[in-house]
Structure 1
């Protein structure tokens, strides 16, 4: 009934409670009755896979569904480089002619099997057979689908929002999965950044041509602004900056764009590895200007000064350009969005209805504020955990500090405690750290008697991630070392013996920096919740998600361990799931041995 009233339902339900299947069933039922379409929005590929599996099961039971899953172009591109230009990529060349000649859009739905779901592997096979772009094909097929599964970006990022959604948003029912991730992501959409080094590199390649003129002006403006302060980072209120400056550069790039495209048919200004830096700067300026024009007082104009080296020699006549060059990517001009409600609220207002769901939508007050949905259009549903409480034991070990300044001092003791947990747990264990740096600092010191150790590496490929997950699902007594907020701590299903214990080493608070302090200032001024909204809620949501990997079915048994004295503080416990009944211990081995003795064989 809530969906019929065109409401937006905030659904807080424990991990493993069947949110994906329940929400898809309810949405599809309503969509068929009212001639609507469903978009299942996720933050990660693993969540897309779970949604695909759910749709497949529905289709197998006879529900007629046309469904498409959209992957990022980088993940399904068939060319050796991701450059979607007909003169560069043979899969993009003649794309529409090939579609029409092969009747691809109609035939794809029945080309490989009788079901109406087109997942990335099928789309890639079709694209290979017809020598067309798989990403473009997935977008065109999505325009014919009842259900579309894709990243948050396709709905909420102004620069990549799908035209089929923005053209008729009232015809879409939206399911936002793992919605606790959306506020931080949306703030990123409202925080574009112009790197001085990118501008400098584009200027290096186009010097002596008309195409260098807007780059010279932009570079000169940024250097002038950076010389205004001796600080490394500083900001201005949005109202104190003249928007005409950015619009001037948009006009300048637009006036040159057609001629630039013609000229680059015959010659290139940059190496193949560099790509098209002039176009990269132009797109960045277009996005920056568009977001600047819509921004209000929640947004700051932010300057960051990295390293500038004197350039020893240059024949260029532009004085500023001759004098300085940026040494790294840190020197930049950016916008800093501190409150995503102005981005998300108007988008949700236009949808027919939505289900906004997660196991970590608490405190609900925070998500009400961040999503910007008025009370009259909002319904809040909380589902208690139906898993037996006696199947889970949750502990806080406050005997070490995980604060950044104390990590080196306490790392040996931290490693010893983790070793005790591993030796006292008869099954798979996941140990999650707040960062790769901290993981790499502690893991080498752990006395891990097991040979079956798995470790999440930086930049892990999708194939390696899949293999690691499949290994864990076998339940053969592995220890996984990973990071909170990463691929293994959210949106993955590890039922039964796939995970018997999750250890969270410290709260996963956001990195302390100038921007985060400005976010805290805004939240204190507007909501009187500065520290909680800027640090605790986003950080402890990651802890809660990692903890939720343990109990996935009513028969699962396991332990959850929060390591570090900050977890014992009252203000942190307030933002952890209520079903976690935490026991404080300074000696974890006998606690675990007692728990598993009681539950072994049950």
Structure 2
């Protein structure tokens, strides 16, 4: 094997999920991918610790397949390798909320993962046969059910080689495109004359990527932060310092600006595929986003067609606009949102909202799932917003009244579920009686235990429910409980637990993430380098503390490119945008200030108001602008 050949890496999990998936998109199975949840990892560790000396946990495995012109490396980590006297057994552990009595056989993709590990281990250790054990554990009761099968190395070899052969064309495409892309990057130059301070930013970004560090950039409006971040990141990809760029934003307008920056570079014949991910609700072809084959024609048989749709798109065009994606999805009769997520796996840059990377409920598991790390470069725009967004993503709340609402929906014929809901409600009622408006709590583990029990009952109900209206409400409630359990498992000294009695009389239990730095770092650690930039990053040490846990992060300040002598700062100390001070008199003062300014000199003016309500009401107080044009 020529180890100097380029290497394409793929995880065992991604390989089997990509090649072996089939059938429909169906959101009626509420517990999708639950084994990736935090409590699933906890069960993994507990089961592993209970095994004997013959059990080796978390065994890394890698198998390299020589292909024509490159090496395909299939990598993963077996949950356990059991060395029995007469046989070796590969153990794959999955945590579920499902009643194990309903589980008649291992799930196809779970078993496929285990078979991959079994083949790799058998091949590398010259074993003629090997056992595969699927261990399912109920996350509530901790009941365990195992399925065991023995395979010969020959039959595993035949199965594995077929699996890999189906993936080889994708790896070959990736290899060919990578070479073409990198060659084109070498000729790309910065597209504008550098503004004051902009070249320093470009150099700092590139050096940070080269050293695999994080960089905080405080740069005022007008410096050209977007291109100063995108250009060196693109050049770094060409130097193989990263394989994929994630441009992360909080707003649609900044996603548009980022897309334009890549488009400007492509004018120099840059070969780079860039996709902007659009929210499911916006790109969905149906009037209502209900993702199951009984309602959505694009969900039915989606996985049977989507790989062909994606491959055709990748090999026929470099344009990945929303219009192109929608046209391709209609042609192949597949879900445009899910197809876009699949396309993102093969493009060079992904422009998306923060939550696709950092949100534990919405992040792209193919890139950021447990144990997954890639050659990624993160460019985080308006990164000051990530503090509050991070707090929101890693916090969770439950409302006592929601339990009563769900109880009313399911009270007939579901005694076990009703009993579990009542048990949770009782715990919350006790906390409510102790709450005087707002109360800080040391622990809510007693509620957590009841919620774990409730999850099993909810999942059974969701699987059996045929009333779509009821099922939808219960499913939404289920996801809220699941998130609360997940956040409870990961809470630490950076969290505040408190109860709240709202003005409407509703009782809430909150797990509030005060400092999201540790949670964010968990995902930033999956990238080679992270560049965070904002025009409002001061004091920068405050943001470094709330956005990162590493001490060696870099920081740079950029000066404004505008001449200080042409700047006039006027302060009106008798006006306020506070809600309590708004009214006709305050709106009149807003209008008077604007009038005084525009009367001073003829020209074009833009007036920015903090709230849309303010400028609309200010507009009621008319003024004669004469030759001035006022844009609101």
Query: What band does the TM-score fall into relative to the shorter chain?
Result: 0.5 to 0.7
Among 390, 393, 397, the alignment partner of 1:189 is 393
Question: Pairwise mapping of residues 115-154 of structure 1 onto structure 2 (< 5 A)?
Answer: 116-154=318-356
Specify the structure having the higher radius of gyration (Cα).
2
In the alignment, structure 1 residue 306 sits paired with structure 2 residue 502: yes
Q: Which residue of 2 aligns with 1:77?
A: 284
In the alignment, structure 1 residue 381 sits paired with structure 2 residue 563: no
Q: Deviations over 1:180-217 (max 9, x none)?
A: 11111101112222234433332222112324343333
Q: 1:385 deviation in Å?
A: 1.8
Q: 1:250 deviation in Å?
A: 3.1
Question: Pairwise mapping of residues 397-476 of structure 1 onto structure 2 (< 5 A)?
Answer: 397-408=572-583, 410-424=586-600, 426-436=602-612, 438-439=614-615, 442-443=617-618, 445-449=620-624
CA distance in 1 between counterparts of 2:615 and 2:237 reads: 46
Q: Which residue of 2 aligns with 1:214?
A: 420
Q: Deviations over 1:384-404 (max 9, x none)?
A: 122223343221122334444
Question: Pairwise mapping of residues 22-41 of structure 1 onto structure 2 (< 5 A)?
Answer: 22-34=228-240, 36-41=243-248
CA distance in 2 between counterparts of 1:215 and 1:421 reads: 62
For the 8 Å contact 1:250–1:282, the answer to whether it is kept is no
Among 365, 369, 377, the alignment partner of 1:163 is 365
Q: Which residue of 1 aligns with 2:214?
A: 8
Q: 1:173 deviation in Å?
A: 0.9
Q: Which residue of 1 aligns with 2:170?
A: none
In the alignment, structure 1 residue 278 sits paired with structure 2 residue 474: yes
Q: 1:233 deviation in Å?
A: 2.6
CA distance in 1 between counterparts of 2:388 and 2:565 reads: 35
| DSSP 3-state at the match of 2:497 | strand
CA distance in 1 between counterparts of 2:446 and 2:347 reads: 42
The alpha-carbon distance between structure 1 residues 287 and 175, as it changes in their structure 2 partners (threshold 3 A), is same
Q: Which residue of 2 aligns with 1:235?
A: 440
CA distance in 2 between counterparts of 1:433 and 1:394 reads: 16
Corresponding residue pairs, total: 420
CA distance in 2 between counterparts of 1:189 and 1:182 reads: 10
| DSSP 3-state at the match of 1:169 | coil
CA distance in 2 between counterparts of 1:279 and 1:427 reads: 57
Q: Which residue of 2 aligns with 1:560?
A: none
| DSSP 3-state at the match of 1:374 | coil
Among 535, 556, 573, the alignment partner of 1:359 is 535
For the 8 Å contact 1:418–1:446, the answer to whether it is kept is no
Among 421, 429, 432, the alignment partner of 1:226 is 432
For the 8 Å contact 1:206–1:269, the answer to whether it is kept is no
Q: Which residue of 1 aligns with 2:186?
A: none
Q: 1:301 deviation in Å?
A: 2.0
CA distance in 2 between counterparts of 1:151 and 1:401 reads: 32
| DSSP 3-state at the match of 2:361 | coil
The alpha-carbon distance between structure 1 residues 157 and 427, as it changes in their structure 2 partners (threshold 3 A), is farther
Q: Select between 77-86 and 209-218 the one with higher mean Cα deviation.
A: 209-218
| DSSP 3-state at the match of 2:425 | helix
Q: Which residue of 1 aligns with 2:403?
A: 199
RMSD over equivalenced CA pairs, Å: 2.7
Q: Which residue of 2 aligns with 1:58?
A: 265
CA distance in 1 between counterparts of 2:217 and 2:528 reads: 17
CA distance in 2 between counterparts of 1:85 and 1:427 reads: 57
CA distance in 2 between counterparts of 1:213 and 1:197 reads: 16
| DSSP 3-state at the match of 2:233 | helix
For the 8 Å contact 1:419–1:446, the answer to whether it is kept is no
Length-normalised TM-score, structure 2: 0.62
Q: Deviations over 1:264-289 (max 9, x none)?
A: 3x33453xxxx711111111111111
Length-normalised TM-score, structure 1: 0.64
Q: 1:445 deviation in Å?
A: 4.4
Q: Which residue of 2 aligns with 1:572?
A: none
For the 8 Å contact 1:8–1:354, the answer to whether it is kept is yes
**4+ residue stretches of structure 1 with deviation over 6 A?**
none
Q: Which residue of 2 aligns with 1:369?
A: 545
The alpha-carbon distance between structure 1 residues 207 and 443, as it changes in their structure 2 partners (threshold 3 A), is farther
The alpha-carbon distance between structure 1 residues 479 and 261, as it changes in their structure 2 partners (threshold 3 A), is same
| DSSP 3-state at the match of 1:87 | coil
In the alignment, structure 1 residue 99 sits paired with structure 2 residue 301: no
For the 8 Å contact 1:69–1:120, the answer to whether it is kept is yes
The alpha-carbon distance between structure 1 residues 196 and 228, as it changes in their structure 2 partners (threshold 3 A), is same
Q: Which residue of 1 aligns with 2:485?
A: 289
In structure 1, stretches of 5+ residues that fail to align are 309-325, 453-475, 481-602
